[in-house]
């Protein structure tokens, strides 16, 4: 009996970490896909189209597997979660990527754990230790270096700041997702978050057909891939991960995403990230690694019930 329980737990843990790996790969492709789509589409239309695709895929899954009916009182919560994780995050990051490289964009997005910690402290009065304060300062200094050195060392530009604002929106989503702790399975949660997050984007729909007709095939393929993988698949998997793993532990796995994004950007976009971007990236990732060094997060994961 004990052997069976151990084997079951081990298989579930493998499933959890395989899900995290797929999320990292999908989100590593995301900034590259956005850069390709920006050749033909506006930032707003990229957000709309990718989540229309994702909404359709999730609709098919919902019909096939069935999802939980939302309680009336939970609908405002889904609207808030969708607003931060879908609407605001993606319009901001797409707009910022018009003048920010895919590598720099992905690195800046990894400041999410730092913003998550800050927001948790400000909103929910969580305590920040001296060590965590040092990590936050180091990470934010790295972010400033990235935004200042993306195109040669200069003052931070407006579009880089938009990427950081997008990261803040995602951090707010993380904190609220765990704080609300709604009683839905991961598929139901992601369906409603994405559907409600897509609704505000429909304001950009009147001329979307015209944009599709005049877009080149590379941009159309990029939008389709963005909808299928970084949106539908990754959001579903990430919802599953957040249900099984503590918030800070889960978000910290994402700091490997820039390595995937940089590799894809070098291969397919010909990007050559500047030394300042790489140094800033090391500072951001290093601050997050330092923040979790020798803590008891592994124990908390092992104590978490995996279902």
Which residue would you say has higher pLDDT here, 230 or 289? 230
CB atoms within 10 A of CB 205: 13
Percent with pLDDT over 70 in the chain: 88
305, pLDDT greater than 60: no
Give the per-residue pLDDT at 226.
95
Q: Fill in the DSSP letter of residue 156.
A: P
Q: Fill in the DSSP letter of residue 152.
A: B
Give the per-residue pLDDT at 238.
82
Q: Can you tell me the distance from the alpha carbon of 299 to that of 297, in angstroms, rounded to the nearest whole number?
A: 5
CB atoms within 10 A of CB 69: 8
How many Cα atoms sit within 13 Å of 275 on the Cβ side? 1
* Cα radius of gyration (the chain): 19
Confidence of residue 4 (pLDDT cuts 50, 70, 90): very low
CA 281 to chain CA centroid, nearest Å: 17
Give the per-residue pLDDT at 139.
85
Give the per-residue pLDDT at 118.
83
Give the per-residue pLDDT at 3.
53
| Long-range CB pairs of 70-76, under 8 A, 24+ apart, other chains included | 70/184, 70/188, 70/192, 74/182, 75/196
Give the per-residue pLDDT at 76.
94
Give the per-residue pLDDT at 2.
52
Give the per-residue pLDDT at 304.
34
Percent with pLDDT over 90 in the chain: 34
pLDDT digits (tens, 9 = 90+) for 167-222: 899 889 988 888 888 888 888 988 999 999 999 999 999 988 888 989 999 999 99
65, pLDDT greater than 50: yes
Q: Can you tell me the distance from the alpha carbon of 28 to that of 22, in angstroms, rounded to the nearest whole number?
A: 10
Q: Can you tell me the distance from the alpha carbon of 239 to that of 234, in angstroms, rounded to the nearest whole number?
A: 8
pLDDT digits (tens, 9 = 90+) for 247-259: 667 766 777 788 8
Give the per-residue pLDDT at 63.
92
Confidence of residue 303 (pLDDT cuts 50, 70, 90): very low
Give the per-residue pLDDT at 10.
61
Which residues are paired to 152 by β-bridges? 150
Give the per-residue pLDDT at 90.
94
132, pLDDT greater than 50: yes
- pLDDT, the chain, mean: 83
N residues, the chain:
307
Give the per-residue pLDDT at 200.
96
Break the chain into its structural domains and give their ranges: 12-303
What's the pTM value of the predicted model, to 2 decimals? 0.82
């Amino acid at each position: 009996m004990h052997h069976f329980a151990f084997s079951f737990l081990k298989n579930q843990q493998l499933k959890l970490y395989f899900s995290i790996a797929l999320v990292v790969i999908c989100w590593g492709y995301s900034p590259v896909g956005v850069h390709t789509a920006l050749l033909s589409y506006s930032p707003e239309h990229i957000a709309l189209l990718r989540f229309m695709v994702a909404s359709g895929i999730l609709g098919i899954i919902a019909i096939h597997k069935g999802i939980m009916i939302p309680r009336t009182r939970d609908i405002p919560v889904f609207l808030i979660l969708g607003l931060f994780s879908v609407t605001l995050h993606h319009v901001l990051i797409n707009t910022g990527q018009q003048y920010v490289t895919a590598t720099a964009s992905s690195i800046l997005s990894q400041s999410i754990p730092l913003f998550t910690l800050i927001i948790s402290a400000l909103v929910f009065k969580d305590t920040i230790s001296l060590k965590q304060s040092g990590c936050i300062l180091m990470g934010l200094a790295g972010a400033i270096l990235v935004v200042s050195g993306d195109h040669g060392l200069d003052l931070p530009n407006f579009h880089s700041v938009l990427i950081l604002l997008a990261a803040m929106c995602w951090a707010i989503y993380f904190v609220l997702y765990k704080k609300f702790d709604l009683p839905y399975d991961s598929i139901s949660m992601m369906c409603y978050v994405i559907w409600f997050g897509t609704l505000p984007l429909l304001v950009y729909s009147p001329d979307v057909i015209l944009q599709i007709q005049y877009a080149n095939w590379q941009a159309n393929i990029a939008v389709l891939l963005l909808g299928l993988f970084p949106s539908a698949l990754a959001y579903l998997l990430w919802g599953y991960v957040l249900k099984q793993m503590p918030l800070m532990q889960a978000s910290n796995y994402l700091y490997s995403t820039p390595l995937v994004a940089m590799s894809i950007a070098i291969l397919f976009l010909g990007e050559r990230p500047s030394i300042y971007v790489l140094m800033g990236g090391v500072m951001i990732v290093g601050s997050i690694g330092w923040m979790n060094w020798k803590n008891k997060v592994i124990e908390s994961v092992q104590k978490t019930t995996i279902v």
